[in-house]
């Protein structure tokens, strides 16, 4: 049994950013944290941003193929969600394959994550990223509504 796309629970078109101009990994995380606060996912962008950076120091979230899946487990998170971003400039991310990153899935996880939502979210995203067609589609598409459709269709 495939635990098909829970993804739709975790993403809205507000949390799809296609034209980001971050210049470093830290800048990208900060910009995305601010958007998550604006959209009500987190109640304190600064706290969330710090929690993501702490997690980044433990091990790289650059999974290769120009993609990173950073995440923050933080008391500042109101709703478990992720934000998807495409950056205009490929960023240094210490990726496993040495590739720079321009596609970012930033997961926001509640501090007390009793239901292990983040594992479901991570499993979903990882499963989708193993599908070359899915990866090609998200790399090509720049319309947030169409991207949302790509994320939620199986």
Q: What is the pLDDT of residue 3?
A: 42
Task: Supply the DSSP symbol for 35.
Answer: H
User: pLDDT truncated to tens, each residue of the chain (154 aa)?
Assistant: 344 456 778 889 999 999 999 999 999 999 999 999 999 999 999 999 999 999 999 999 999 999 999 999 999 999 999 999 999 999 999 998 999 999 999 999 998 867 788 888 888 899 999 999 999 999 999 999 999 999 888 6
Residue 142 counted as domain residue? yes
Q: Find the domain containing 38 and state its range.
A: 13-152
Instruction: Give the count of domains, the chain.
Output: 1
Q: What is the pLDDT of residue 4?
A: 47
In sequence order, what E strands does the chain have?
A: 16-20, 62-64, 67-68, 71-74, 81-91, 101-110
Interacting residues of 114 by C-beta distance below 8 A, sequence separation 6+: none
Q: What is the pLDDT of residue 154?
A: 65
Q: Rounded to an integer, what distance in angstroms lies between the CA atom of residue 42 and that of residue 75?
A: 9
Residue 68 counted as domain residue? yes
CATH number at residue 128: 3.40.930.10
Asked if 59 contacts 23 with a C-beta cutoff of 8 angstroms, the reply is no
């Amino acid at each position: 049994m495939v635990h098909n796309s829970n993804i739709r629970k975790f993403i809205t078109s507000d949390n799809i950013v296609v034209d980001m101009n971050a210049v470093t990994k830290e800048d990208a995380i900060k910009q995305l944290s601010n958007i998550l606060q604006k959209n009500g996912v987190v109640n304190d962008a600064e706290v969330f941003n710090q929690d993501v950076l702490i997690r980044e120091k433990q091990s790289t979230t650059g999974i290769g193929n120009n993609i990173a899946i950073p995440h923050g487990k933080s008391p500042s998170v109101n709703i478990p969600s992720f934000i998807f971003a495409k950056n205009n400039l490929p960023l240094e991310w210490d990726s496993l394959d040495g590739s720079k990153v321009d596609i970012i899935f930033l997961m926001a996880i509640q501090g007390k994550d009793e239901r292990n939502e983040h594992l479901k979210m991570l499993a979903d995203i990882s499963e989708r990223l193993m599908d070359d067609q899915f990866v090609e589609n998200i790399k090509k598409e720049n319309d947030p509504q169409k991207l949302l459709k790509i994320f939620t269709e199986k």
